[in-house]
Structure 1
């Protein structure tokens, strides 16, 4: 007799089925493509914003300051820009109305225009107009009162 099992297949414990070919993982490649697409989108957005900021930085702006009212002793404080440097101008007025104009290039945000009445009091109204259409107004009355516009 032979050493065969009843099915007629010889007993060979060393024989194994042939190995299946390994499938390559695709998720790392998909992840890489997604990261590259996102990085390209961010780079394009940064380029667009940088171009817009560059154009805004050289755009000429005209800011007009106006003060009207009945006060006889008024101090006006407003920002000025020269050669890219921010400074503050202060003017004491003995009669109203008063108008000041500033021409500058570049960004102008966060300015503050203050009108302070002296001890004699009175009434004042002040307006800031930026040529892009931004208008800020305020008024004050009484001794040592202040009217402030900011964020223009």
Structure 2
């Protein structure tokens, strides 16, 4: 057996050893935190998209109604259907008048305009979307106009 060329001597100081190099933990901590933040953001975005999609696909009922004693009334109603505005107009010779329309899309609302004819009288318009509040307005006298908006 061969002996080491420089055997340690008893009582001689041992030279300091370099510290053991361990793996750094902070890059892993940062990575985990970053993944949690990104995952949370993706989950929140998915939830919002789902809610918006459900709301856009939902169908509501718009109720239009005109009451009063006027005998010559022009009724015009508008409604948003899947992003397009649809308007219809008709002449009504006796009240009450009523119409219900099923509507879907992002702009679910309705507008009703009532114009009293030359003979005068009184006409009250009412609009309601689903079980929401009833919006009313009244026109009195010849050529008077009332407008009701609901959303």
Instruction: Report the TM-score when normalising by structure 2.
Output: 0.67
CA distance in 2, matches of 1:80, 1:150: 10
Aligned pair 1:104/2:118, yes or no? no
1:40-79 correspondence to structure 2 within 5 Å: 40-79=39-78
CA distance in 2, matches of 1:49, 1:125: 40
CA distance in 1, matches of 2:67, 2:99: 12
Residue in 1 aligned with 2:132? 133
Tell me, yes or no, if the aligned pair for 1:80 and 1:89 is still in contact at 8 Å: no
Aligned pair 1:144/2:136, yes or no? no
SS at match of 1:121: coil
Which ranges of structure 1 fall in alignment gaps of 5 or more residues? 1-23
- Taking only aligned residues, the RMSD between alpha carbons, in angstroms, comes to 3.1
Give structure 1 regions of 4+ aligned residues with deviation exceeding 4 angstroms: 32-42, 81-84
